[in-house]
Amino acid sequence: MTAFGAVVIKAWCCCVVALTLSFTALIRPTSADDLSNVPPSPPPPAPPPLKGNVLNTVAPILGQDCFPSTRFDRCPSSESTLYGSADLNATLLAAASCACTPDKTIVISVVNHGMQDVLDTQLKSLQYSAPSILGMWVVVALDESSLADCKRNWIHCVMDPVFSNEHAMETEHTFSSDAEGKYQYVRICWRRVEIVSLALRLGLNVIFTDIDIVWLKDPR
């Protein structure tokens, strides 16, 4: 073996020993003294502030009168969004009275002109499979056309004040890809959540049903 080969082997052995010692130091058990020298982790950054405030019946009105869930540049909700109009609240309470259930349970659907055909299918399923639900069913209409159709079929039907006549044409659409991106369509989706929240503030229990649901029996 040449002198150069011996030097290479010696250097390789030194590297192996050094790596072994380093690995042993990494995997050895941590002592209490070691932990005392570790600086604490910094706290996580605070989340960004929400727009508006989620209010209840006893909370003061703070900031904008809209729900944080909307998260839009402009706030379309009025005070009726938070507390409900007189007609909307009266209709919800009337349905709870007709339901004659001790827990004050009502069923809520939201409809506009573009959804009326689908809602007719839901009505048929309730008439045949769960007629006891009809008395506790509230249909919230978002435009005059759907309100007129509801009045021909349902006792508990009311116009939502947030979507007044000025929004009627914007809500009268089908579920096309173009319509889904419209501002008012997004408002309809969030308005469903807000209406359920209004009913809960009135002390009611709520079953929310999308209009494309077919009822096979009374779930109670």
* Domain parsing of the chain, residue ranges: 3-28, 79-208
Q: For 197, how many CA atoms within 13 A lie in the half-sphere containing its CB?
A: 17
* Mean pLDDT, residues 150-163 taken together: 75
Distance (Å) of CA 62 to CA 1, 18, 51, 54, 73: 87, 65, 10, 9, 17
Sign of the four-CA dihedral 104, 65, 53, 56 = negative
Say if residue 130's pLDDT is above 60.
yes
- pLDDT digits 0-9 by tens, 51-95: 333 333 322 333 334 443 333 334 444 444 555 566 777 777 776
Q: Which range in 133-142, 156-165, 166-175 is most confidently predicted, on average pLDDT?
A: 133-142
Q: Decide: 161 and 87 in contact? Cβ < 8 Å.
A: yes
- Please report, in angstroms and rounded to a whole number, the separation of the first and last CA atoms in the chain: 91
* Mean pLDDT, residues 146-159 taken together: 80
pTM of the model: 0.57
Residue 134 has a pLDDT of: 84
